[in-house]
Amino acid sequence: MTFDSTVPSGSYLNSLDEDATAKLARALRAIFPHDALAEGPYLRSAEAIAANVSGSPHQLGVVVEGIRSLEALVGGDLTAITIDDLSGILRHLQQTEFFQIMLTSTVVTLYSDPEVWEFLGYEGYSSDKGGYIDRGFDDLHWLPEPRITEYEGDDELVGYVPPVPGLQVSFDNTKKVATI
């Protein structure tokens, strides 16, 4: 998009500015509310959306207008209502393109964020740390140690004798075999 000096610069939507990105992050928190999670991951997810839509004038417009109309609905300030109230408003908008852009992008970026991994107790990359063989792959102790070998009794799961031409075969239960 080239700059046309005859039009006030505010008439162009080039990208989401910092203020709009912060508002977007607030909406993302209302979609995936984790109260104890810091703002960083939500901001990074908002920035990812900003980067994605910057290549699409249509999507950029959808997001910019989406934020503006959301603000209008809540009376101007997204931080003036609770996250749960904001979620309740978004519930009515979930079929809109604006909401779907936020949802489909953020479910990927938020839960791929190492800060979120740590928050959830997921330890992330392990191959370069020698795996978990010495780091707790079997440290669950609130249940008894299970058998790891296969059951040594008869195989009762095979209730079928291969057919012989002319033979009637029925399978009312696993134990039943062919009968003539």
- Please report, as ranges, the residues that interact with another protein according to CB under 8 A: 31-34, 84, 87, 91, 94, 103, 107-108, 110-112, 116-117, 120-128, 130-133, 135-140, 142-151, 153, 156-163, 169, 171-174
Q: Which is nearer to another protein, 15 or 100 (CB)?
A: 100
The backbone torsions φ and ψ at residue 179, rounded to the nearest 5 degrees and listed phi first, read -130, 145
Nearest distance, CB of residue 175 and another protein, angstroms: 9
Nearest distance, CB of residue 72 and another protein, angstroms: 22
Q: What's the rounded Cα separation, in Å, for the pair 91 and 68?
A: 17
Instruction: Using DSSP, state whether 111 is helix, strand or coil.
Output: helix
Q: Which is nearer to another protein, 14 or 129 (CB)?
A: 129
Q: What's the rounded Cα separation, in Å, for the pair 21 and 154?
A: 64
Q: How many residues appear in the chain?
A: 180
Instruction: Using DSSP, state whether 168 is helix, strand or coil.
Output: strand
Q: What's the rounded Cα separation, in Å, for the pair 125 and 178?
A: 53
Nearest distance, CB of residue 118 and another protein, angstroms: 10
Nearest distance, CB of residue 25 and another protein, angstroms: 15
